């Protein structure tokens, strides 16, 4: 087999090699059925077991209380930008949106179609280099909900602490850091996340939603856009992304085998430190985008201070087997996405490449 690439893609991103190899072994004949899991009915007993195993394991790993539902949907986080206000923001209501990057801007824009989203904090004026300070954020107790994006893939920032919203439901887009560290689920009314960064392949969207919110949701919207439709049918109202759910379950088993989310967090901290140290110890040759107290453990964004050298850096990195190091097309620069499945060895290899490149080209 060709040597595995050093995969730093922002999404779809690296999957655990053990999971890929297991899927390869099971691809043609899943559990002695004579079929691939991609060929069998989503109503079959075999798939029902796979589906429920994945739900149960996610609840276990994240200590999700009984008063929450776990849903497997489609459409990515981008559809959730619409579903959230469609279900919970009436035309005469306001909701608080905290802007910390491009994806929170997109969510804010969609909410304007249904009610009145209010920008209660933003770090756009600082080029989204940091997360808003908690003491600067103020809510109205009549808000329908508060929306945040927990990790910002483009700018490389991440919430360390979440705002206290008391009786106002806190809704979070956790697409790029879900399952990367332990969180208190009970702080949130709803969490949503595309699977393609930490949970599995693209095509599955996980929603964790408090049951009392389901009871309050708008009933006068299309069937497929109601959370209650999917909660009432255990996410099997229509044909789900069966292979994606199977892979998600296998990734969850991998997380459990690694010691659970707390151990995954320790590993993520170590990986990120390896690369951040290379930036911080470069005497200005590399410059991080995010301020240190807001740095993401999932997306490490930086520039080579000389623009022409930056182009050369990315070209040589690609030739050396590093994939996905180009920054987002909207901001440029460099970005290393170090999601759960990215091994420490890949981060060490990138550090070594960065140090070597600097030694060759620093004036």
CB atoms within 10 A of CB 68: 22
Selecting among 197, 226, 253, 271, the annotated active-site residue is 197
Marked catalytic residue, from 94, 143, 159, 173:
173
Mean pLDDT of the region 159-166: 96
- Could you tell me what percent of the chain has a pLDDT over 70? 99
173 is annotated as an active-site residue: yes
Could you give the angle at the alpha carbon of 285 between the alpha carbons of 266 and 342, nearest 5°? 30
254 is catalytic: no
Exactly one of 103, 181, 253, 254 is catalytic; which is it?
Answer: 103
The band of 363, judged by pLDDT with boundaries at 50, 70 and 90, is: low
The Cα–Cα gap between 339 and 322 comes to: 15
Can you read off the two tokens belonging to residue 216?
Answer: 């309050």
79, 128 Cβ separation under 8 angstroms: no
Q: Report the pLDDT value the prediction gives residue 260, as an integer from 0 to 100.
A: 98
Q: How does the average pLDDT of the chain come out, rounded?
A: 97
> What is the pLDDT at residue 22?
98
pLDDT tens, residue by residue, 63-107: 999 999 999 999 999 999 999 999 999 999 999 999 999 999 999
Inform me whether the pLDDT recorded for 2 exceeds 80: no
Catalytic-residue membership of 306: no
The domains found in the chain, sorted by start residue, are: 18-257 (3.40.640.10), 260-361 (3.90.1150.10)
**How do strand 68-73 and strand 205-210 relate by DSSP bridges?**
antiparallel
- Predicted local confidence at residue 3, as pLDDT: 84
């Amino acid at each position: 087999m060709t040597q595995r690439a050093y995969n730093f893609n922002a999404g779809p991103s690296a999957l655990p090699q053990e999971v890929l190899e297991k899927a390869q072994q099971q691809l043609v004949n899943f559990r002695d059925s004579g079929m691939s899991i991609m060929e069998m009915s989503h109503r079959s007993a075999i798939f029902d077991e796979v589906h429920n195993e994945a739900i149960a394991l996610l609840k276990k790993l994240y200590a999700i209380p009984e008063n929450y539902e776990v849903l497997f949907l489609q459409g990515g986080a981008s559809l959730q930008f619409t579903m959230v206000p469609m279900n919970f923001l009436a035309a005469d209501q306001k909701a608080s949106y905290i802007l910390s990057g491009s994806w929170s801007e997109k969510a804010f824009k969609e909410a304007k179609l249904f009610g009145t989203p209010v920008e209660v904090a933003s770090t756009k004026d600082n080029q989204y280099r940091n997360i808003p300070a908690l003491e600067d954020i103020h809510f109205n107790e009549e808000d329908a909900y508060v929306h945040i994006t927990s990790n910002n893939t483009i700018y490389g920032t991440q919430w360390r602490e979440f705002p206290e919203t008391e009786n106002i439901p806190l809704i979070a887009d956790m697409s790029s850091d879900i399952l990367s560290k332990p969180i208190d689920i009970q702080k949130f009314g709803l969490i949503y996340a595309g699977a393609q960064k930490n949970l599995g392949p693209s095509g599955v969207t996980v929603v964790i939603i408090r049951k009392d919110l389901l009871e309050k949701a708008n009933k006068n919207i299309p069937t497929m856009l109601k959370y209650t439709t999917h909660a009432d049918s255990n996410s099997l109202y229509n044909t789900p992304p069966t292979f994606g759910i199977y892979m998600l379950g296998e990734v969850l088993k991998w997380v459990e085998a690694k010691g659970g989310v707390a151990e995954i967090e320790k590993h993520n901290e170590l990986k990120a430190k390896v690369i951040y140290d290379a930036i911080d110890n470069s005497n200005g040759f590399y410059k991080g985008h995010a301020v240190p107290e807001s740095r993401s453990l999932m997306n490490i964004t930086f520039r080579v201070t000389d623009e022409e050298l930056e182009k050369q850096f990315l070209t040589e990195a690609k030739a050396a087997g590093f994939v996905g190091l180009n920054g987002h097309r909207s901001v440029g620069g460099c970005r290393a996405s170090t999601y759960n499945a990215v091994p420490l060895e890949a981060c060490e290899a990138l550090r070594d490449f960065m140090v070597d490149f600097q030694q060759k080209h620093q004036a």
